Amino acid sequence: MKIAVVGATGLVGTKMIEVLAERNFPISELIPVASEKSIGKTVELNGKSYAVVGMQTCIDMKPAIALFSAGGSTSLEWAPAFAEAGITVIDNSSAWRMDTTKKLVVPEINADVLNKEDKIIANPNCSTIQMVLPLAPLHKAYKIKRIVVSTYQSVSGTGANAVLQLMNERQSINGEMAYTYPIDLNLIPQIDSFLDNGSTKEELKMVNETCKILRDDSIRVSATAIRVPVKGGHSESVNIEFENDFDLLDVRKIISDMPGVILQDDPSKQVYPMPLFAEGKDEVFVGRVRRDESQPKTLNMWIVADNLRKGAATNAIQIAEYLLKNNLV
């Protein structure tokens, strides 16, 4: 089983290789792919070193699956060439997510949509993945009408250059700026570029991807995405209005029973999710579960997850695991 990681030297690509090892994914050969300047460098997996190669060389080596995390333009250019060669692409960029011919998958929710003909599969946005995981079973139980979400997203979501900016600022070191403004001791109310309606592309992703993954275009979503001075782990304040009323004990049980979700909700003991403790873990953590007293049939919750793991690398590898388990590749 040859597996390629495209963007192998980046933050997410590095994490993908780490997660492949942790989950004992059955690999006979790793094919790390990166930009021209990285060709010839080596990447390690399970004690073996593998040389970084270019795109065409990777295609010629015919991996069964290629995990892409090299940006949208690279995916648009190269994913079709990989697919044409019979290689299944699992793409972490936004390039294919809203393409009506491509599947957008969180395995615990909608892996059943996949079949052998799917050669380009989209990995959702990190903020969307962690939000829909606990919301999917609640939607089945009570039917979601509207979601209002505010995200508090760590700098690792931007990349290694943003993590470096935060660390530099924290140590009063002048260096390259990933953001227009300082991020340490600050919040930046912009993730991705602005659209004509005043929302950002990141916020629109959450709107559109939520409906596609939950298979319900009637769900209304209002999102505000904020960059915060946290190294790793995204947090979200989520307000959900349902069609039908709910019992809080039932809600907590539904959340707890969802695979990949851990309920951390004991305010009396100050138990609630925080990015400090979610970093490095694959689960999505949910807490501060309470009724919204300002209107009926509405719930508040706080959701935290490691954006590089379940928000990116782990979700992609779980898709690959599903494909293998069901003989779809």
Q: What percent of the chain has pLDDT over 70?
A: 100
> What domains can be seen in the chain, in order of their start residue?
2-124+312-325 (3.40.50.720), 127-307 (3.30.360.10)
Q: Which of 58, 139, 211, 234 is catalytic?
A: 234
Q: In sequence order, what are the residues at sequence separation of 6 or more whose Cβ sits closer than 8 angstroms to the Cβ of residue 298? A: 239, 240, 241, 242, 291, 292
pLDDT in tens, 156-202: 999 999 999 999 999 999 999 999 999 999 999 999 999 999 999 99
Would you state the pLDDT for residue 314?
98
pLDDT of residue 240: 99
Helix axes 248-257, 126-142, angle to 10 degrees: 130
**Active-site residue, 234 included:** yes
Structure confidence at residue 316 (pLDDT) = 98
Residue 304 has what pLDDT?
98
Report pLDDT digits (tens) over 213-245. 999 999 999 999 999 999 999 999 999 999 999
Angular region, 9: left φ>0, alpha ψ -120 to 50, beta rest: alpha
pLDDT at 36 over 90: no
Distance of CA 64 to the CA centre of its chain: 22
Taking residues 2-18, what's their average pLDDT? 96
Known catalytic residue at 58: no
Whether 142 and 214 have beta carbons less than 8 Å apart is answered as no
Predicted TM-score (pTM) of this structure: 0.96
pLDDT digits (tens, 9 = 90+) for 278-312: 999 999 999 999 999 999 999 999 999 999 999 99
- In this prediction, what percent of the chain has a pLDDT beyond 90? 98
Flag whether pLDDT at 40 surpasses 90.
no
Tell me which of 58, 126, 139, 211 is the catalytic residue: 126
Average pLDDT over residues 8-27: 96
User: Any bridge partners for residue 239, and if so which?
Assistant: 148, 300
Q: What is the pLDDT of residues 249-283, one digit of tens each?
A: 999 999 999 999 999 999 999 999 999 999 999 99
pLDDT at 227: 98
Contact 145, 242 (CB under 8 A): yes
Cα 277 to the center of its chain, rounded Å = 18
